[in-house]
Chain A
Amino acid sequence: DTAVSQTPKYLVTQMGNDKSIKCEQNLGHDTMYWYKQDSKKFLKIMFSYNNKELIINETVPNRFSPKSPDKAHLNLHINSLELGDSAVYFCASSHNRERFSGYTFGSGTRLTVV
């Protein structure tokens, strides 16, 4: 019974394409996040949504557009993919009232742009 699920797990695509990654959580959390883990394993937050509202938008190219149709889903759409977008993208969620519980992460989407 997966708490935070991402699809697809692997994505190989050509430069210039547009792709989406989906994320769903069944924990009843009200905040969701996208993180990028680069080839050096650095983890950096990209976006955060609270109850479908964007609350954190780090310095991310506007080719990346998050969409939250409801508080259980946060999808990531990427336009005009570039080689440098190759990374593992992790979705996560947390509960506002349980700050000290930490975040729950999905299993990641390994994106390879060729």
Chain B
Amino acid sequence: AQRVTQPEKLLSVFKGAPVELKCNYSYSGSPELFWYVQYSRQRLQLLLRHISRESIKGFTADLNKGETSFHLKKPFAQEEDSAMYYCALGGNKLVFGAGTILRVKS
């Protein structure tokens, strides 16, 4: 079965502070992992894919198969990063974690 766990419902940080949004997954096959972002009352937008190992808006995420994790990181948070972040696991369907609200305070 596919399962994604995001342990933090809310993460509140000050502007300029580092951010780490945690994501752990459970899947017997070869995982496809994604981070999606949803700004207030907008559509979900793909932020990162594990396969591309890219940095988008300063965010990075590394797949750690040993720890079955795909944490999202950014060294210096900005106020415009405030949003809901979903970790998602692809297989025969895309399964989402419960989401973490990131609030960046000035």
Q: How many B residues, CB 8 Å from partner?
A: 22
Task: Determine if B90 is an interface residue (Cβ-Cβ < 8 Å).
Answer: yes
Size category of the binding interface on chain A? 20 to 34
A107 to B92 CA separation, bound complex (whole angstroms): 23
Chain A residues closer than 8 Å to B93, beta-carbon distance: 33, 45, 48, 56
Contact A56 B98 (CB under 8 A): no
A-B contact count (CB 8 A): 50
The reply on B42 being an interface residue by CB < 8 A is yes
Which B residues are closer than 8 A to A by beta carbons?
32, 34, 36, 42-46, 49, 51-52, 84, 86, 88, 90, 92-96, 98-99
A43 touches B99 (CB 8 A): yes
Residue in A41, A90, A107, A108 whose CB lies within 8 Å of B99: A41
Q: Which residues in A have some Cβ–Cβ distance to B below 8 Å?
A: 33, 40-45, 48, 56, 90, 92, 94, 99-108
| Contacting pair A105 B90 (CB below 8 A) | no
Q: By the criterion CB–CB under 8 Å, are A100 and B99 in contact? A: no
Q: How far is the CB of B88 from chain A (nearest CB, A)?
A: 8
B98, chain A: closest CB distance, angstroms: 6
Which chain A residues lie closer than 8 Å to B96 at the CB level? 42-44
9 closest cross-chain pairs (CB), A and B: A43-B96, A100-B51, A107-B43, A105-B44, A102-B46, A105-B43, A102-B34, A41-B99, A45-B93
